[in-house]
Amino acid sequence: MANETSARRARASWKISLGLINTLSNYTNYYGLPATGSAGTGIVFAIFNVGQIAGALFIWLADWTGRKIPIFIGCVGVIIGTIITATAPTLGVFVGGRFLLSFFCTIATTSAPLYMIEIAPPLYRGTIAGLYNTLWYMGSIIATCAVFGAHRNLADRGELDWRLPLWLQMLCPGIVLLGIFFCPESPRWLIGKGRVEEARALLVKYHANGEENHPLVELEMQEMSEALAKEGLTSWRNLFDLRVLFNTPGWRYRIMLNIAFAWFGQFAGNNVISYYLPSMLRRIGVTDTDTQLLLNIIYAIVGWVFATGGARFLDTVGRRPMFLFSVGAMAICLAIVAGTAAGFVQTGSTSCSYASIFFVYLFGATFAISLTPMQPIYPGEVLTNDMRAKGMGVMQISSGVASFINTFAAPVVLNNFYAFFAFFDVFEFLFIYFLFVETKGRTLEELEVVFNSPNPRKASLAFAESSKRKEKGGVEEVA
């Protein structure tokens, strides 16, 4: 699982490092980019999302070759993309390298969580899935520190202060590349390819401590065999046959939640802040580059701490309460920052500047505590077994499209950024309140009943209330 950890950290460093490098005058001067943001800056950032969309079309590789081969191919491609971007003589070559980085990064990081969840013992799957996305912040911390250190020590060395952090992008993929073939293959994929005894031996070794007749092994073998008999493995031939996603009203409701979550994760505002925080800090009076980079490091650390804590709360508090708390708090934070940032522009007040920084950090914390650990969990939970592979591919593409739109447009509309996303977070709050279902503790059979009901949201809350009464009754009976 350490390789999948490195893969997630790598994806974060590929994305975040450029947002920070964009603050360095040596970089912007070399490519003729304005420091305040422009359509050209938006293209440099948004091409990463185009690569993500293209890479999502190759999700079938994980079912064709196994989970490990796409991770290997993705890491090789990222190293090639790193070499291109780190040596790019022109902006066009740099953009092309960014596309390759994202394309191959998506291939690797689409397979990595599948592999990680399928190889993990059932008892730890929920925790591991929740923690997986928090590693985005760890990669952000590494990337930010690299840019900060390079700028502090190499700013007078011309291009080196921004090219060196780009070279470091190959570090985590290199670790994965060296270690992936020492890992076992996914038991689910082995069963799908008819290699049943290999899958059983793997489960006995890693899930049952070598006990051949452990009941967990038989249960897992049965569950995976039944799921594969129903859905099969995805191939390039059937990848675009999306009829399975819309067969019934319940399934249409499921894919609606899946796509909505993808858009909400991108349009909550955090994606743009992670790219353009230095520019936003400049607009509220923080003009020193070292200070901007240091504040980026602190922002990433705050996000990682809250995301890690949030991964634990998902199975105790529940999905809907976490969603509603986070989105509501984000809307309030952005509304306040809209006012304090405007106050700084009009008066130059340091109090307005400090307040803006505080509430930007609070926004990041409230996003991290819920939406970050939920991203690899909720979209898959709302899908049936036979919808999951294609549904997650649709989510990847939807997320890429949404991220492309807001990343490309952000440099042009930064002045109205806070107000726009505050209003969108209010819309998200209402949408989640009236339409999102609670999936905490629900079995596949219970979710089938929920989504086949006239009002899935009400049905899910009724299940949750019934579960609470049963738990309370059990406690009273024991007492």
One domain, residues 260 and 306: yes
Which domain covers residue 19, as residue numbers? Answer: 2-193+233-435
One domain, residues 74 and 15: yes
One domain, residues 468 and 327: no
One domain, residues 448 and 415: no
Name the band, by pLDDT with cuts 50, 70 and 90, for residue 477: very low
- Model pTM? 0.78
One domain, residues 188 and 314: yes
Cβ pair 148, 294 in contact under 8 A: yes
With a CB cutoff of 8 Å and minimum separation 6, the contacts of 329 are 362, 363, 366
> How many domains in the chain?
2
Please state the rounded mean pLDDT for residues 48-77. Answer: 88
Structural domain contains residue 274: yes
One domain, residues 426 and 454: no
One domain, residues 332 and 449: no
Which pLDDT value is given to residue 431?
97
One domain, residues 457 and 339: no
Residue type, 477: E
Which pLDDT value is given to residue 476?
45
Of 111, 12, 99, which is closest to residue 58 (Cα–Cα)?
111
Does 7 score more than 60 pLDDT? no
Cβ pair 66, 189 in contact under 8 A: yes
Q: Tell me the average pLDDT of the chain.
A: 82
Of 403, 169, 81, 456, which is closest to residue 269 (Cα–Cα)?
403
Q: What is the pLDDT of residues 92-127, one digit of tens each?
A: 999 999 999 999 998 988 888 778 878 888 767 667
Q: What is the pLDDT of residues 128-139, one digit of tens each?
A: 777 787 788 888
Q: Which residues of 295-329 are buried (b: 16+ CB within 10 A; e: fewer)?
A: bbbebbebbbebbbebbebbeeebbbebbbbbbbb
Q: What is the pLDDT of residues 436-468, one digit of tens each?
A: 999 887 766 678 889 989 999 999 888 877 766
One domain, residues 399 and 450: no
Of 70, 132, 148, 69, which is closest to residue 103 (Cα–Cα)?
70
One domain, residues 457 and 365: no
The rounded distance, in Å, linking the Cα atoms of 174 and 177 is: 5
Least confident range from 40-54, 62-76, 83-97, 201-215: namely 40-54
How many CA atoms, within 13 angstroms, populate the side-chain half-sphere of residue 10?
Answer: 35
Least confident range from 120-129, 139-148, 345-354: namely 120-129
Residue type, 183: C
